[in-house]
């Protein structure tokens, strides 16, 4: 079952960042499918792929997705995931 954005854990985000940073062999579509298969919401999986080259080139570092979801970094990424409960979208 897919998680709602409010149920994304730091471990989920680290898993995503690791894949975006290190998976040189899979296509974008395969990475998205892998994220979804591991419980990442489809909208988050699709939105995160736009940062793949930034992660691979070291422009974005570990913790960047968490910072975005917590509102520490301003980006269009956040606009894709409004949290109806008003929280920051990440569980510990």
Q: Is residue 18 part of a domain?
A: yes
Q: Is residue 83 part of a domain?
A: no
Question: 49: domain range?
Answer: 5-72
Q: How many residues does the chain have?
A: 92
Q: Are 50 and 87 in contact (CB under 8 A)?
A: no
Convert the pLDDT of each residue in 5-64 to its tens digit. Answer: 457 888 999 999 999 999 999 999 999 999 999 999 999 999 999 999 999 998 888 888
Q: Is residue 88 part of a domain?
A: no
pLDDT band at 81 (very low <50, low <70, confident <90, very high): very low
pLDDT for res 19: 96
Q: Is residue 80 part of a domain?
A: no
Neighbours of 71 (CB within 10 A): 11
What is the domain count for the chain? 1
31-36 contacts, C-beta under 8 A, 24 or more apart: 36/2
Convert the pLDDT of each residue in 40-50 to its tens digit. Answer: 999 999 999 99
pLDDT band at 71 (very low <50, low <70, confident <90, very high): confident
Q: For residue 66, which of 21, 4, 10 has the smallest C-alpha distance? A: 10
**Model-wide pTM > 0.85:** no
Q: Is residue 87 part of a domain?
A: no
Q: Are 17 and 62 in contact (CB under 8 A)?
A: yes
């Amino acid at each position: 079952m897919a998680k709602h954005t409010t149920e994304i854990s730091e471990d989920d985000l680290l898993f995503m960042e690791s894949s975006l940073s290190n998976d040189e062999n899979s296509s974008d579509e395969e990475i998205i499918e892998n994220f979804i298969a591991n419980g990442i919401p489809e909208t988050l999986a699709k939105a995160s792929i736009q940062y793949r080259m930034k992660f691979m080139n070291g422009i974005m570092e570990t913790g960047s997705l968490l910072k975005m979801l917590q509102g520490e970094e301003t980006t269009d990424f956040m606009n894709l995931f409004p949290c109806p409960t008003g929280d920051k979208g990440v569980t510990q």
